[in-house]
């Protein structure tokens, strides 16, 4: 899922303070799981902004609402009137939702979150990065552990010389991805795979190739 982190209130306030009617709009899927941008968090943020507006003596009407996903057209139908009625929207979706709304509506759409990474819920309250959407998955060769997302250097034939006692040189709290890979290859009885050199990666499938697109011709409307 996409993980985000709410922006500092002051930064949000600077974006919206010039408007008269602002809708704080939640996205109740990925960013709700990490408790940052769901409809409940949008409600809390709206409440805080109303308190801020009162103290600043600013005459802003701040309401809140939300939908299940801000990255698909059909989910917007039920909230169309609320969005149309607002002068500006503070979206608590990820960067995808904010941009999708900006394309749909001719009004300011502001980001309430910093979109941080694609991650997993290790446990309630702990979200960790697992994927960088590089466009060419090599998890089959690396025993299900991604050196692109989890190695600071994105080394494809590791570990590097900065690996000590299973930890990365950037922090003693960060596991060395290649140590994890070796341990798991060992566990799976696949240490022979460790001897195979991974060739230079084709980064054109990553962001280096520009914005990416997936087309399923069979699903597209004519």
Does residue 55 interact with another protein by CB under 8 A?
yes
Does residue 57 interact with another protein by CB under 8 A?
yes
Stretch that binds another protein, among 47-55, 113-121, 158-166, 187-195 (CB under 8 A): 47-55
Cβ(35)–Cβ(6) under 8 Å?
Answer: no
Does residue 96 interact with another protein by CB under 8 A?
no
The beta-strand segments (E) located in 84-131 are 88-91, 109-111, 113-123, 126-131
Shortest distance in whole angstroms from residue 13 CB to another protein: 10
Handedness of CA 39, 42, 48, 51 (dihedral sign): negative
Shortest distance in whole angstroms from residue 57 CB to another protein: 7
d(CA 145, CA 142) in angstroms, rounded, equals 6
Residue of 52, 64, 92, 127 that binds another protein (CB under 8 A) = 52
- How far, rounded to the nearest angstrom, does the alpha carbon of residue 83 sit from its chain's CA centroid? 23
Strand partners, 182: none
Does residue 19 interact with another protein by CB under 8 A?
no
Does residue 157 interact with another protein by CB under 8 A?
no
Residue of 11, 14, 21, 51 that binds another protein (CB under 8 A) = 51
166 Cβ partners below 8 Å, 6+ apart?
175, 176, 179, 180
Residues near another protein, by CB under 8 A = 8-9, 44, 48, 51-52, 54-55, 57
């Amino acid at each position: 899922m996409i993980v985000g982190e709410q922006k500092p209130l002051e930064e949000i306030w600077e974006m919206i303070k010039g408007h008269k009617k602002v809708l704080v709009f939640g996205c109740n899927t990925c960013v709700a799981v990490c408790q940052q941008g769901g409809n409940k968090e949008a409600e809390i943020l709206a409440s805080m902004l109303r308190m801020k507006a009162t103290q600043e003596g600013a005459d802003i009407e701040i309401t809140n609402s939300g939908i299940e996903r801000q990255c698909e057209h059909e989910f917007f139908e039920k909230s169309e009137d609320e969005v149309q009625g607002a002068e500006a929207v503070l979206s608590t979706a990820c960067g995808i939702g904010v941009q999708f709304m900006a394309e749909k509506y001719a009004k300011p759409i502001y980001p309430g979150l910093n979109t941080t990474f694609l991650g997993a819920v290790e446990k309630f309250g702990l979200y960790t990065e697992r994927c960088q959407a590089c466009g060419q998955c090599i998890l089959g060769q690396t025993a299900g552990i991604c050196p692109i997302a989890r190695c600071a250097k994105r080394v494809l034939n590791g570990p590097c010389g900065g690996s000590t006692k299973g930890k990365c040189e950037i922090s003693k709290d960060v596991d060395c991805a290649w140590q994890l890979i070796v341990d798991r290859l060992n566990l799976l009885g696949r240490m022979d795979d460790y001897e195979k050199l991974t060739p230079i990666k084709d980064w054109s499938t990553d962001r280096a190739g520009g914005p990416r697109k997936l087309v399923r011709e069979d699903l597209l409307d004519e």
